[in-house]
């Protein structure tokens, strides 16, 4: 079994989901008392969030690259960046280490392609929805058309993530707002919607809407299990 390096804490709420899903996945595959070999470096998200909103992405890359190097030095065989937004600096992190990085967008896109999804809605932080680093990867590498909410709905989605979900606050009215936005994306032609922030699945789940949802945390964690156990 390969040792998984988790670069987490963005936020710690969703890192808990990663840890649980990966260990459950390994146990389902191997049975008995088996669990995953994991090394976790959990950063202080307040530092990252401040730099994000100031547009200081190079500084976030420096922090996360140092954390990634520590995971490699501790014995991780590959790296998982436990957040969608900070894949904006995935290439900078990747260039600083010698172990593979399993990209969350690639894992999600592979699942979409397998399910014959060619047009998908994307929810996430404003950075993920508005900037090209995530959407362009899906389009250029997997021929998936991506639609995002209007600007006012992006504000709702973004603010709920940072003000509520990252603090562990799960509010029914916010779930209702998300479902309305998901339904709008469906009306724009999206065959499904990516929950493209690792906290969103804490709020919205299958059954809350008839629109198919792709939980990036679960998909990314599953890819870690498969990679860790493959020969």
Sorted by where each starts, the structural domains of the chain and their CATH numbers stand as: 4-103+219-229 (3.40.50.1860), 105-216 (3.40.50.1860)
Query: 66 is written with which tokens?
Result: 């140092």
Three-state DSSP class for 206?
coil
Residue 197 designated active-site = yes
Low-confidence ranges of the chain (pLDDT < 70): 231
Tens-digit pLDDT profile for residues 77-109:
999 999 999 999 999 999 999 999 999 999 999
The side-by-side arrangement of strands in the sheet containing 38-42 is: 38-42, 4-8, 78-81
Q: Which of 197, 198, 216, 217 is catalytic?
A: 197
141: Cβ contacts below 8 Å, ≥ 6 apart: 106, 109
82 tagged catalytic: no
Nearest by Cα to 129 from 147, 156, 102: 147
Q: Which of 15, 60, 83, 216 is catalytic?
A: 83
- Alpha carbons 99 and 5: distance in angstroms, whole number: 10
Helix (H, G, I), strand (E, B) or coil at 14: helix
Whether residue 11 is preceded by a cis peptide bond, meaning omega within 30 degrees of 0, is yes
Question: Closest Cα partner for 166 from 7, 39, 16?
Answer: 16
Q: How far apart are CA 203 and CA 94, in angstroms?
A: 31
The helix/strand/coil state of 119 is: strand
For 3-35, what is each residue's pLDDT tens digit?
A: 999 999 999 999 999 999 999 999 999 999 999
Question: For residue 122, what is the enclosing H or E element?
Answer: strand 119-123
Q: Give CA–CA dist 62/82, Å, rounded.
A: 16
For the entire predicted model, the pTM comes to 0.95
Residue 41: DSSP 8-state: E
Q: What is the pLDDT of residue 231?
A: 67
For 143, other C-beta atoms within 10 Å of its C-beta total: 10
From the list 131, 154, 163, the residue with the least C-alpha distance to 11 is: 163
| 18 and 220 Cβ atoms separated by less than 8 Å | yes
């Amino acid at each position: 079994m390969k040792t998984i390096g988790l670069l987490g804490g963005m936020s710690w709420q969703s890192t808990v989901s990663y840890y649980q899903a990966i260990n459950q996945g390994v146990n389902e595959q191997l049975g008995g008392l088996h669990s995953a070999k994991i090394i976790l470096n959990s950063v202080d998200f307040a530092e990252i969030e401040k730099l994000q909103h100031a547009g200081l992405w190079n500084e976030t890359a420096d922090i996360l690259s140092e954390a990634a190097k520590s995971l490699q030095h501790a014995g991780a065989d590959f790296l998982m960046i436990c957040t969608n937004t900070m894949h904006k600096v995935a290439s900078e992190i990747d260039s600083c280490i010698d172990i593979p990085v399993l990209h969350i967008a690639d894992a999600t896109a592979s699942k979409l392609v397998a399910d014959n999804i060619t047009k998908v809605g994307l929810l996430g932080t404003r950075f993920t929805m508005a900037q090209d680093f995530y959407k362009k990867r899906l389009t250029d590498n997997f021929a998936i058309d991506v639609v995002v909410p209007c600007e006012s709905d992006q504000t709702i989605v973004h603010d709920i993530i940072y003000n509520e979900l990252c603090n562990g606050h799960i509010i029914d009215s916010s779930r209702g707002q998300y479902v309305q936005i998901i339904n709008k994306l469906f009306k724009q032609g999206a065959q499904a919607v990516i929950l493209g922030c690792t906290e969103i699945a804490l709020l919205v789940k299958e059954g809350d809407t008839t629109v198919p949802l792709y939980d990036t945390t679960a998909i990314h964690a599953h890819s870690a299990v498969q990679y860790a156990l493959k020969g």
